[in-house]
Structure 1
Amino acid sequence: MKFETILEEIDGFGPFQIIIIVLMCTPRIVLPCHFLLNNFIAASPPHRCDISSLDDGGLFENLTLGQRLTASIPVQEDGEPKSCEMFAEPQLQLLANSSDSADLPTVQCQSGWVYDNSTFTSTLATEWDLVCDRKSLTKTTSTIFFFGVMMGAIAFGYLCDRYGRRNTLLASYIMAIVFGFSSTFANSYVLFAVLRFLTGFGLTGISITSIVLSIEWVDTGRRSFIGVIGSLAWSVGNMLLAGFAFLVNDWRTLIMTVTAPLGFAVLTWWWIPESARWLLANGKVERAQFYLDRCAKFNKRPKLSSKLKLETLSSIEIREKSQKSFTYLHLIKTPKMRQLTLLSGIVWYGVASTYYGISLNISGFGLNMYLTHFIYAAIEVPAKLMIYCLLNIIGRRKCQAGTLLLTGVCIALNMFIPKGLWHLRAVVAILGKGLSEASFTTIFLYTTELYPTVIRQNGLGYTSFMSRLGVSVAPLILLLEDVWTLLPQIIICSVAIVSGLVSLLLPETLNMSLPETIDDIEKPRRNDASSQSAEPSGVFLQPKSTTDTPQ
């Protein structure tokens, strides 16, 4: 007996499931607002050395600001003052163009910097002077945040399987709210970095729990629909971030703005049901009966005909849990689980590193950063609609491999397109961004279908850890452009292609019932059709019942 049999009686996709999707939208909209927030709060506006200390009423008394800048700061090729250098001594002879400034001695800025506040009232860079020789600290802020996300993935993956999806989700909401708002009051860079780490830690629970909780309540044919709808909420939040950042120019206020919706999410948490799959897998039959009866009521179906059916199902589901509880070690204890863990981890690393490597680089195409970010976010919508259609036609594995490989091709093409053709470069980059998001949409759904219920959240916690490892490295990879301009693109392109090839080794899960126990992965059942018996990775999944039809 499978859980899908129970869902058939109470409707695996009705008003009850729609309510779950709606309740999960608000927190998922918040996620991209924090994950890509560094594009705006850590932006470095145009700046130059502060020369006010040179204005002592003597030499500069009768000079205009322009003349003072000419005598104090060397210029770049475009005629603008250099950002990080000034002359060792004021060079008044330059006012008459009597000498070449290239040979004049310069020093680093001595009295701080003056910033152009026309775009941003305040950013991390202007708050703590994270420019010039300290500019890497702005990227480091993003890396620290994603390290928090990475650690949270491990912690919440365990907590969700141990204490349930619903309770862990509430803990995530509260942590994200507390540390998110606290970071806006940070009075030093170190304190801010610590609070951003903790904010990322809390947000991870929302990321990995919401998608699993949604998918575990729907039937086999609608899993791809749920995965794509949940992912569309991310795209909406991503587009809203561009609007919020355009309207709110102060970094502290912007963090408050994007964190505030989680207060509404806490209020709606009371209507979120626990996963009946998880309850049955842990022997909590009566509690599972409560939520399944509520589902039947909302979907206008009769209550379950017999509690004996649930008890029978529960006894099967907890077969492996009778003598032990599951930990992350069970991901690698058996051969096929070990193979699945290795391959899925590599793919997740590649997907995340590629997506954020593109998303965190929103300059260089002749458009302002707000418009570029919005376009990058907007292209995700048609990409997700496209992948939704393909998921049920060509399957998960081909979609995963195809989107990653094509993303790598787009990145490679942009390395050879001249910078003067910025229109073409922008089109190719936007196409690559859409494909990278399509690969992210696929991997979330794909992973929930690959891992069995008893360790599904542990599996998603592990893969989310690998994902955030890739994300944490992405900002540091972008810093390598100071070594060689093309080096970041070469690395990201290579990662996309390699992870795309690795995904071809994973099993197909289209029209397959969700595995419930590790035995479902390790030992194919006797009633498995022979046509379903050979998958490239050697991992077996239960074929879907013939009464189910893909959406």
Structure 2
Amino acid sequence: MKFENILEEIDGFGPFQIAIIVLLCAPRIVLPCHFLLNNFIAVVPPHRCDVSALGAGGLFGNLTLEQRLTVSIPAREDGGPKSCEMFAEPRLQLLADGSDGADPPTVRCQSGWVYDNSTFTSTLATEWDLVCDRKSLTQTTSTIFFFGVMIGAVAFGFLCDKYGRKNTLLASYIMAIVFGFASAFANSYVLFAVLRFLTGFGLTGISINSIVLSIEWVDTRHRSFTAVIGSLSWSAGNMLLAGFAFLVNDWRTLIMTVTAPLGLAVLTWWWIPESARWLLAHGKVEKAQFYLDKCAKFNKRQKVSSKLKLESLCNTENQDKSYTYLHLIKTPKMRRLTLLAGIVWYGVASTYYGISFNISGFGLNMYLTHFIYAAIEVPAKLTIYFCINIFGRRKCQSGTLLLTGLCIGINVFVPEGLWHVRAVVAVLGKGLSEASFTTVFLYTTELYPTVVRQNGLGYTNFMSRLGVSVAPLILLLEDVWTLLPQVIICSVAVSSGLVALLLPETLNERLPETIDDVEQPRGNQVSSDLAESPAVFLESKSATDI
């Protein structure tokens, strides 16, 4: 007797399951808005040294602004003023003949900067002068945010398996709302960085809980459909981010705008059920029966007929047992699974965000590029839905990563002058990387057993956020060599794609409930089920279990 048999009785994919997916849409829309928010709030607009002090009086008081800039700031090759330096002394000779025939000494800007606010009224860079020798701090905020996501993955992975999916989901909502809005009112860079860290910490619970709650309530046949359709809310949020950023040009207001939908999520939380799989795995039969009966009523099916059926699913050893991250490496197959899954997640996340953070250099404005990057995810998700059910999870996981690496590699050799070709290849690579991300969420959920599923997702999310945290720093290496970030991201994609081939296939396999389900050969699972409860097994045997 397995949980899938119970789902067959009460409908494993009916209005109840669809309602769960819909209720989790609002919070999942928020995720990309925060995860990729740095693309807009950390933009460094065109800037130059502030030379307003030269107009205080005397000779400079009679000069126009253009003349003051000419004598105070060196010119770039395109004729505009340089961004980060000014002459040590004003060069009045430049007004006479345009050149003083020397290479005059320069110094860093002495009185701050003047920014071009035609596109953005305010960004992190303009708020705290994160330009020139401090420009790396704009990308550092993204790294700090994903460090929070990374630590949150570990914490919520444990808490979800310990205290349940629903309670920790509410905690995630509240944390993300409080720290998300608080970061919009930060009055210093350090405080903002701390609050973004805590926001990322809270958002992680939403990320790992929403997908697991959805999948643990559906039958085997509809797991891939649930994962793919549910993940479309990420794409919707990603496209909305481009629209929000275009309409809201102030970074503080933009943060509040993308955090606001979580208020709706808190209201809908009351209708979200706890995972019956988790309840049964921890011996909470009465609560599990309550939610299963609720599901049956909502799906217009008969209630679960026998409490014995539910009790047969409870492993008495799990009721008082506390599972930790150590259980991910205690046994041979779990240890191998943990190692391989961690490498794949690192590669998937590093590749996806490495592409997503690079929304310039393709001849399009940043809003349009971001929107196209987001829109391509929709056909990518729909395509991967059919592929994972035809070719299996393992081949699709490996194939999407390898093809993503191929696209990145092609752009290494395509000249920048062919921006339209580079843009098409980059968009294709973005779509493939999103297909890879969609697959890995479903794949990992099917690989780990129920008793440590959230611990497993917490660990893999930790590895993925480690990759994401490094991605902005990798992009800074373009100062060393323009193509170096692309070479690194390409190598990571190809390597993780090859590692994915070593994972077991899960297509049409039931979800494992215990660690023993992972350790024992697939062929022995049926005989094990029969030995545990032969009467119940024979009463409810089905083609899925035999």
Establish whether TM, by shorter chain, passes 0.5: yes
Partner of 2:383: 386
Partner of 1:24: 24
Task: Indicate whether 1:458 and 2:458 are aligned.
Answer: no
The 1:337–1:320 alpha-carbon spacing in structure 2 relative to 1, beyond 3 Å, is farther
What are the superposed Cα offsets for residues 188-223 of structure 1, whole Å, 9 maximum, x if unpaired?
000000000000000000000000000000000100
The 1:335–1:514 alpha-carbon spacing in structure 2 relative to 1, beyond 3 Å, is same
The 1:129–1:8 alpha-carbon spacing in structure 2 relative to 1, beyond 3 Å, is same
Partner of 1:158: 158
Q: SS of the counterpart of 1:321?
A: helix
Give runs of aligned pairs for residues 159-308 of structure 1, distance below 5 A: 159-308=159-308
TM-superposed deviation, 1:60: 1.9
Q: SS of the counterpart of 1:48?
A: strand
Give runs of aligned pairs for residues 87-166 of structure 1, distance below 5 A: 87-99=87-99, 103-166=103-166
TM-superposed deviation, 1:100: 5.5
- Partners of 1:216 and 1:415 in 2: CA distance: 42
TM-superposed deviation, 1:62: 2.2
Q: Contact between 2:13 and 2:222, CA under 8 Å: does it hold in 1?
A: yes
- Partners of 2:313 and 2:477 in 1: CA distance: 54
The 1:337–1:160 alpha-carbon spacing in structure 2 relative to 1, beyond 3 Å, is same
Paired positions, count: 532
- Partners of 2:306 and 2:543 in 1: CA distance: 23
- Partners of 1:175 and 1:349 in 2: CA distance: 25
TM-superposed deviation, 1:325: 1.6
Partner of 1:431: 428
Q: Contact between 1:94 and 1:101, CA under 8 Å: does it hold in 2?
A: no
- Partners of 1:547 and 1:352 in 2: CA distance: 33
Segment of structure 1 superposing worse, 509-518 or 57-66: 57-66
Partner of 1:483: 480
The 1:438–1:305 alpha-carbon spacing in structure 2 relative to 1, beyond 3 Å, is same
Q: Contact between 1:146 and 1:472, CA under 8 Å: does it hold in 2?
A: yes
- Partners of 1:96 and 1:365 in 2: CA distance: 40
> Where do 5+ consecutive residues of structure 2 fail to align?
528-540
TM-superposed deviation, 1:484: 1.1
TM-superposed deviation, 1:546: 2.8
- Partners of 1:545 and 1:364 in 2: CA distance: 56
The 1:102–1:516 alpha-carbon spacing in structure 2 relative to 1, beyond 3 Å, is farther
Q: Contact between 1:10 and 1:302, CA under 8 Å: does it hold in 2?
A: yes
Partner of 2:530: none
> Where do 5+ consecutive residues of structure 1 fail to align?
531-543
The AA in structure 1 aligned to 2:187 is N
TM-superposed deviation, 1:305: 1.2
- Partners of 2:463 and 2:173 in 1: CA distance: 23
TM-superposed deviation, 1:310: 0.7
- Partners of 2:521 and 2:64 in 1: CA distance: 83
- Partners of 1:322 and 1:148 in 2: CA distance: 31
TM-superposed deviation, 1:528: 5.5
Give runs of aligned pairs for residues 322-337 of structure 1, distance below 5 A: 324-337=321-334
The 1:319–1:503 alpha-carbon spacing in structure 2 relative to 1, beyond 3 Å, is farther
- Partners of 1:46 and 1:323 in 2: CA distance: 61
The AA in structure 2 aligned to 1:375 is I
Q: SS of the counterpart of 1:168?
A: helix
Partner of 2:468: 471
Partner of 1:367: 364
Partner of 1:539: none
Partner of 2:418: 421
Partner of 2:514: 517
Structure (1/2) with the larger helix percentage: 2
Q: SS of the counterpart of 1:61?
A: helix
The 1:17–1:100 alpha-carbon spacing in structure 2 relative to 1, beyond 3 Å, is farther
Q: Contact between 1:320 and 1:517, CA under 8 Å: does it hold in 2?
A: no
TM-superposed deviation, 1:185: 1.0
Q: Contact between 1:454 and 1:517, CA under 8 Å: does it hold in 2?
A: yes
What are the superposed Cα offsets for residues 484-506 of structure 1, whole Å, 9 maximum, x if unpaired?
11111111000000000000000
TM-superposed deviation, 1:470: 0.3
TM-superposed deviation, 1:545: 5.5
- Partners of 2:446 and 2:490 in 1: CA distance: 27
TM-superposed deviation, 1:56: 2.4
What are the superposed Cα offsets for residues 153-206 of structure 1, whole Å, 9 maximum, x if unpaired?
000000000000000000000000000011111110000000000000000000
The AA in structure 2 aligned to 1:235 is S
- Partners of 1:279 and 1:134 in 2: CA distance: 51
Q: Let me know the Cα RMSD of the aligned residues.
A: 1.4
Q: SS of the counterpart of 1:415?
A: helix
- Partners of 2:481 and 2:317 in 1: CA distance: 53
Q: SS of the counterpart of 1:60?
A: helix
Give runs of aligned pairs for residues 397-408 of structure 1, distance below 5 A: 397-408=394-405
Q: Contact between 2:26 and 2:261, CA under 8 Å: does it hold in 1?
A: yes
The 1:411–1:100 alpha-carbon spacing in structure 2 relative to 1, beyond 3 Å, is farther
Partner of 1:70: 70
- Partners of 1:285 and 1:370 in 2: CA distance: 51
- Partners of 2:44 and 2:101 in 1: CA distance: 26
- Partners of 2:174 and 2:271 in 1: CA distance: 17
